A and B are shown apart, each in its own frame.
Chain A
Amino acid sequence: EAGVTQSPTHLIKTRGQQATLRCSPISGHTSVYWYQQALGLGLQFLLWYDEGEERNRGNFPPRFSGRQFPNYSSELNVNALELEDSALYLCANDRYSGANVLTFGAGSRLTVL
């Protein structure tokens, strides 16, 4: 089966712009998680969507937002970009809500200049 796919692979923006990242889940996986992997900070939890609803949110400002579509794909939006938003953004699925075993995509590398 196809894995978790993310697009774009790389994205370069300037401060103040908006970035949109996309995630297509494995077929049948309903939960989508977003993580930010910044250098030296590990993976920081951003958002969790399940069945189209936001289930939980990490300690990030409101300019980080997202949504989940009826086909369970998801979008992460980052408004008013700041230099420290430069990071690898990872999307992950679990097979059903709360299953815990996450399958990760390759990530989208966002660079803010």
Chain B
Amino acid sequence: AQSVSQHNHHVILSEAASLELGCNYSYGGTVNLFWYVQYPGQHLQLLLKYFSGDPLVKGIKGFEAEFIKSKFSFNLRKPSVQWSDTAEYFCAVRANQAGTALIFGKGTTLSVSS
């Protein structure tokens, strides 16, 4: 069964700082990878996804993530964070196999100070 590990529990940054949130998964086969975000008081929503093709994927609000197959990683990045990026970020993986569900990491809380 697949699993997801997010390295950082809580990240605190100042506005304009660069962001990188780590995500590693364990599964030997083909996977689909996601980052979801939960802003304070809002629903969980999709930030970006990787199914196949270019391993560098771009999402909403200037976020991007890079899939490195050899490292089983899918790290999230943003060159310059804003106060409005304060949220909880979840990495998720789904094995590309019928009958498997989307499995989430434990989440990383990002706090951005203005």
Contact = CB atoms under 8 A, between A and B. Distances in A.
Interface residues of B, number: 22
Interface in A73-113: 90, 92, 98, 100-102, 104-106
B88 to A, nearest CB: 9
Interface of A is mostly: strand
B28 interface: no
User: For the complex, would chain B's binding face be called helix, strand, loop or mixed by DSSP majority?
Assistant: strand
A40 interface: yes
A43 B101 contact: no
A43 B43 contact: no
B7 to A, nearest CB: 13
Nearest to B4: A42
B49 A101 contact: yes
Given A45-B103, A104-B44, A106-B43, A98 B90 contact: no
Interface in A37-59: 40-45, 48, 55-56, 58
Interface of A: 3, 33, 35, 40-45, 48, 55-56, 58, 90, 92, 98, 100-102, 104-106
